[in-house]
Structure 1
């Protein structure tokens, strides 16, 4: 079940960079688009959890939900949506692949435990693979805004990494609460923060949101990207560790490449193929210990790799 959910999550997340890019390119305000996406997804999932008796609305009164929402949703997606105005979805995927490495560094610092050489090697191999994967199809125009957008996106990945490590502690603290409800609450808070940011920085018009491509992007990202994939991610963090589910950031450029070849007949170079194989090798190395643990019927929950 863990690996099936992981595959589904990777497939969905692998399409979100392009979906965000489509929405931004059609003129949708980035902060508003991200905010309404997560506010709607969080509200729907939380109300559903309350209706099923899996959570209480009092969950919204806990500071842990605010902090997690600020890191996992607001910090990450404010940076990503804004940055994709100036960089391609491929470059965004490459920079986002720094997430697992940041998580390992933060996790190692917090626990004080020494990580296996295979984990460090896997992060390095995976990062190299991502670069090899997208370089042939990415053209980079070096400009001040390109550099600023790249730095902003990396700052967002730091928020993602810190939020992921912190979220595992939150899940343990709220053992009696469904991970779906916890994820919904943090998305709701993150969505509100993004909408507040949009209120003070953007001019939102109905035409920019109701444009067909923009609307389809929003619907897809809200339902599949947030309600399904983010819920699976939170569930995987609760069942394994913060690093394993975060390796989707290594898989997403590979999925984007395959979709481009199949749907848009984009050429696949030998270098990209080598990069894809390298990415998969990196994922195996990062999760070598977890893979051994998860071969059994009862996966072992671990705070470190």
Structure 2
């Protein structure tokens, strides 16, 4: 059990992570408006890696390269180059709000993997019902948004992204390397930057040759600094202190915030019927986590 003095810090980090992740889908959509998505990803990770290394030098934090640390960096990179690669590809098929809504299913998928594959979690009837209701709500959202930018390819890409993200959480947690959050984030960024080089032969002909517009630059800088560095610091700090499903719970709130941001800043249209579906999704996710919340309340 955490001390009472650590709880406000944990809560503040958690809120910051939610706000960044809620804004990231819109920033991604903006950043790929004038530049090829894979070039945005490559430049983002090399730029973020440089900034992270400079921060490490200023803080005089070590960056170990022993076997366990390297393994942890690779595991963490699954949430960067792994998950983000498919999110950037999905940005061509889905609105930022729908991307965030689909990613909101990650805690449910994490619980399902823990129950069926890893056998580390046992789901009860209420949680299965919550999954069913949330899935039905998401289906209703897609049906109500048939005239919007919805594409099955985008949905598939987001599902692959979620699997990469969840696998990263479980893998980093299982390795449990003795690394600071900054060292873990920097190492994972460096691995992601190196991994992104494998994309060059496929996108070399799409190399940007001129400076993009202001909106694209804002989106790019946000993803490079806030999403790649600040969010990763929060993420790696939290997964060492909370259960994987609890960390994934941050994605429950982000869809609502992301949908509002997408509608307000990017003029993304959401029908009243789609809002009904979103409410059903949120109800299902709350039902899924109700048991865990009750357990945590009783133990506190």
Q: Bin the TM-score by the shorter chain.
A: 0.7 to 0.9
TM-score, structure 1 as length reference: 0.78
- Once the two structures are superposed, what CA deviation does each residue of 1:235-289 show, in whole Å capped at 9, x if it has no partner? 2221111112223333333112323455578777554554554454444444445
The answer (yes or no) to whether the contact 2:22–2:254 under 8 Å persists in 1 is yes
Equivalent-residue separation in structure 2 for 1:111 and 1:54 (angstroms):
36
Residue equivalent to 1:225:
227
The within-5 A match list for 1:182-193 is 182-193=184-195
Equivalent-residue separation in structure 2 for 1:294 and 1:180 (angstroms):
28
| Structure 1 runs of 4+ with >6 Å offset | 264-268
The answer (yes or no) to whether the contact 2:25–2:100 under 8 Å persists in 1 is yes
Taking only aligned residues, the RMSD between alpha carbons, in angstroms, comes to 3.3
Residues 151 and 265 (structure 1), Cα distance of their counterparts in 2 relative to 1, 3 Å cut: closer
Residues 85 and 258 (structure 1), Cα distance of their counterparts in 2 relative to 1, 3 Å cut: closer
Residue equivalent to 1:17:
25
The answer (yes or no) to whether the contact 1:22–1:213 under 8 Å persists in 2 is yes
Equivalent-residue separation in structure 2 for 1:186 and 1:216 (angstroms):
24
- Compute the displacement of 1:138 (Å): 6.1
- Compute the displacement of 1:165 (Å): 1.2
TM-score, structure 2 as length reference: 0.79
Equivalent-residue separation in structure 2 for 1:51 and 1:72 (angstroms):
25
Residue equivalent to 1:239:
241
The answer (yes or no) to whether the contact 1:83–1:152 under 8 Å persists in 2 is yes
- Once the two structures are superposed, what CA deviation does each residue of 1:119-157 show, in whole Å capped at 9, x if it has no partner? 444444444455556765563567xxx433432332222
Residue equivalent to 2:170:
165
- Once the two structures are superposed, what CA deviation does each residue of 1:30-63 show, in whole Å capped at 9, x if it has no partner? 1121122233324423442354244324369843
Number of matched residues?
291
Residue equivalent to 2:99:
92
Q: Please point out which of 153, 158, 161 is paired with 1:156.
A: 161
The answer (yes or no) to whether the contact 1:125–1:279 under 8 Å persists in 2 is yes
Residues 179 and 122 (structure 1), Cα distance of their counterparts in 2 relative to 1, 3 Å cut: farther
Equivalent-residue separation in structure 2 for 1:85 and 1:38 (angstroms):
20
Residue equivalent to 2:88:
81
Q: Please point out which of 47, 50, 62 is paired with 1:55.
A: 62
Equivalent-residue separation in structure 1 for 2:135 and 2:231 (angstroms):
22
The within-5 A match list for 1:118-197 is 118-130=126-138, 136=144, 139-140=147-148, 146-170=151-175, 172=176, 174-175=177-178, 177-197=179-199
- Compute the displacement of 1:169 (Å): 1.6
Residues 129 and 284 (structure 1), Cα distance of their counterparts in 2 relative to 1, 3 Å cut: same
The answer (yes or no) to whether the contact 1:29–1:208 under 8 Å persists in 2 is no
Residue equivalent to 1:101:
108
